[in-house]
Amino acid sequence: MTTVDTHCPYCALQCGMAIGAEGTEITITPRADVPANAGGALCQKGWTAAELLTNGERLTGPLLHGNPVSWEEALDHVAARLIALRDEHGPDAVAVFGGGGLTNEKAYLLGKLARVALGTSQIDYNGRFCMSSAAAASIRAFGMDRGMPFPVTDLAGADVVLLAGANPAETMPPFVRHLEGARLVVIDPRRTATARLALLHLRPAPGTDLALALGLLHLAVAEDLVDASYVAARTTGFEAVRTSLASWWPERVERVTGVPVQRMREAVRALAFARNAYVLTGRGAEQHAKGTDTVSAFVNLALALGLPGRPGSGYGCLTGQGNGQGGREHGQKADQLPGYRRIDDPAAREHVAGVWGVRPEDLPGPGRSAYELLDALGTPGGPRAMLLFGSNPVVSAPDSSRIAARLRALDLLVVCDVVMSETAALADVVLPVTQWAEETGTMTNLEGRVLLRRRALAPPPGVRGDLEVIAGLARRLGHDFADDPAEVFEELRRASAGGTADYAGITYERIAGETGVFWPCPEPGHAGTPRPFLDSFPTPDGRARFVPVEHRPPAEEVDDDYPVHLTTGRVLAHYQSGAQTRRIASLTAASPHPYVELHPDLAERLAIEAGDLVRVTSRRGTDEAVARISDAIRSDTVFMPFHWEGANRLTNPALDPASRMPEFKVCAVRVERVS
């Protein structure tokens, strides 16, 4: 059996795997040459990924209002409707929505489709719901957002790693192998699988991580643990932050967060006395209406202790989606052009317009962010049509019933997907597309390493690649786009050249030969940049910037009507909206249905027993799920996984002012047994 080297279809670790196919048998073998896999590990999602390729629920032909049609008929219909709506209502009547799982080539071509062929400013993607707060905080501190600005293997040399709101033991288990030499400090309201590995577990009330980070930094200053020479040589703005900390004395932080002062003191000392240490944030700290400020507070702590840009130490964000990093670099984001360029930067517009053969003034300006875009669909002045690729917002958007209603209000919803997701089920036109092992393209993993996913087997008849779909629509709109991945990547290289995320020196051949290349890589002879901050930071003065931030309560606080916090997250067996993993037999056997996790004290107060059906109600909606009783959760909080439709009917769409990240991680709910 011949095998093809490729990467996992799921998370941002992008573990390497080899796929073999003989007759109907498809095998998956972990690759030991990919550093992220830590010597050849996969999690259960990776091991079972071959079942995606033979899944009986696969879509194999275009559908128009639920009826099978030919590809020509489907694309002709979509193009004609788009042109008619654009003529009647203007170019912003058409919206495009992408995903953090799309390859770099797809993300790039989707941005070009929106800006050139459709002329719309209305494009954004589901990565806005994922890493956008960490991205915004990194840009304002370091001048660049490369999630982990160091190779994942560097973590093996750490003495201490602080994980704020991250649960890699469930979300990306092979990653934990890189932490085996370190003592872990975990910040999480739940005693997660990761927290159980920790030396220290700090359990703040949901929505108070920012106060906790301020308290930790206050203690570092008070105990004279700040790395003064690093702060003087490599940063600016520390005095303003030091002044702002005065009101966050430890006892006050304990009252706000519930974390004992002694635990905070131990955490700060562990970090400060370590030879090498890292601060890593995840969605638990980031998915808040103050997520950017929360990450800034953790970055301030890391800077005060002299970690970023020092060999063997640093700050990083644990990106979630498979191409969460690359997906935010090449133009499917509302405010962005390829190469991580800003769409409101005249020089950036001129460069990209030159590559695209259009006038800079013809490129639209920034559009709405993901939630704002979804919430505007079908409203007066909002988009009348949406093209949606690689996303399932009916499950994954906050206040999801509202978003489902907005999608239904459209004149035209077109969904490209592999299976009939909850969002595809609402579509006027469903276009069945290829998936990971059936196509070639690049992915940029959580380290900023550009990887090559190779086509390992032919797609089923009747299915087309997203690039073909985009180019097919562009052609009907009067534009000639390449649809071969290698050709699109060559164009992406030119479009990104000179930008922050510069891919100009990266080729498919190099990626294959070197098992990935780190950006920025501005020219063919350049080695790539595994650790971009070692000598200086990409800010005008080369120094990292402290940013003063203030804690504030969650956007929605508990009260008599909604007395319990709800927080949401992931489980080991499932990935994101579950559109893929809920169709894999062994994964659904391991985790068959949604649940509500309650503390025994809360369960007793509410007369709820394990296995009872429980109704959870927020100001936005209701969901029902089975009760699980566990002291791993705080007694003032319930937890629900978000892989099934329902949990996000409850969540709060309050947005972060900088990143426009919704407040997924905390809202107020009422919990009752269903009689």
Cα dist. 331→109, 336, 570 in Å?
Answer: 8, 5, 28
| Least Cβ distance, residue 31 to ligand SF4 (angstroms) | 11
Out of 6, 11, 167, 301, point to the residue binding ligand SF4 (CB under 6 A). Answer: 11
10 vs 238, beta carbon nearer ligand SF4: 10
Spatial CA neighbour of 435 closest among 1, 7, 132: 7
45 vs 670, beta carbon nearer ligand SF4: 45
Cβ distance 130 to 124 under 8 Å?
no
DSSP state of 573: T
**Cα(195)–Cα(366) distance, rounded to whole angstroms?**
40
Out of 13, 412, 501, 606, point to the residue binding ligand SF4 (CB under 6 A). Answer: 13
Q: Stretches 4-12, 188-196, 250-258, 356-364: which one binds ligand SF4 (CB under 6 A)? A: 4-12
Rounded to 5°, the CA angle 272-273-274 comes to 95
Q: Stretches 12-20, 123-131, 228-236, 583-591: which one binds ligand SF4 (CB under 6 A)? A: 12-20
Spell out the long-range contacts of 63-66 with Cβ–Cβ below 8 A and sequence spacing 24 or more. 63/427, 63/429, 63/430, 64/428, 64/429, 65/428, 65/429
Residue 174 binds ligand SF4, judged by CB under 6 A = yes
Spatial CA neighbour of 118 closest among 165, 81, 72: 81
Q: Stretches 132-140, 170-178, 491-499, 625-633: which one binds ligand SF4 (CB under 6 A)? A: 170-178
| Least Cβ distance, residue 644 to ligand SF4 (angstroms) | 18
Go through 270-295 and write b for each residue having 16 or more CB atoms within 10 A of its CB, e for each that does not. Answer: bbbebebbbbbbbbbbbbbbbbbbbb
Residue 99 binds ligand SF4, judged by CB under 6 A = no
**Touching ligand SF4, residues 595-614 (CB under 6 A):** none
Out of 14, 294, 440, 529, point to the residue binding ligand SF4 (CB under 6 A). Answer: 14
Give the count of residues interacting with ligand SF4 (CB under 6 A): 13
Report the interhelical angle of 466-476 vs 71-89 (nearest 10°).
50
Q: Which residues contact 293 (CB under 8 A, 6 or more apart)?
A: 137, 210, 549, 550, 658
Spatial CA neighbour of 123 closest among 87, 154, 98: 98
Out of 5, 6, 10, 573, point to the residue binding ligand SF4 (CB under 6 A). Answer: 10
| Least Cβ distance, residue 230 to ligand SF4 (angstroms) | 33
38 vs 136, beta carbon nearer ligand SF4: 38
Chain residue whose CB lies nearest ligand SF4 = 46
The pattern of x and - marking residues 18 through 57 that bind ligand SF4 according to CB under 6 A reads: ------------------------xx-xx-----------
| Least Cβ distance, residue 208 to ligand SF4 (angstroms) | 29
**Cα(598)–Cα(635) distance, rounded to whole angstroms?**
7
| Bridge partners, 186 (sequence order) | 163, 201
Cα dist. 416→428, 467, 654 in Å?
Answer: 11, 11, 28
CA 24 centroid distance within chain: 34
Residue 8 binds ligand SF4, judged by CB under 6 A = yes
Residue 307 binds ligand SF4, judged by CB under 6 A = no
Residue 155 binds ligand SF4, judged by CB under 6 A = no
371 vs 575, beta carbon nearer ligand SF4: 575
Residue 96 binds ligand SF4, judged by CB under 6 A = no
Out of 15, 162, 602, 650, point to the residue binding ligand SF4 (CB under 6 A). Answer: 15
* Residues of the shown chain interacting with ligand SF4 in the complex, contacts defined by CB under 6 A: 8, 10-11, 13-15, 42-43, 45-46, 172-174
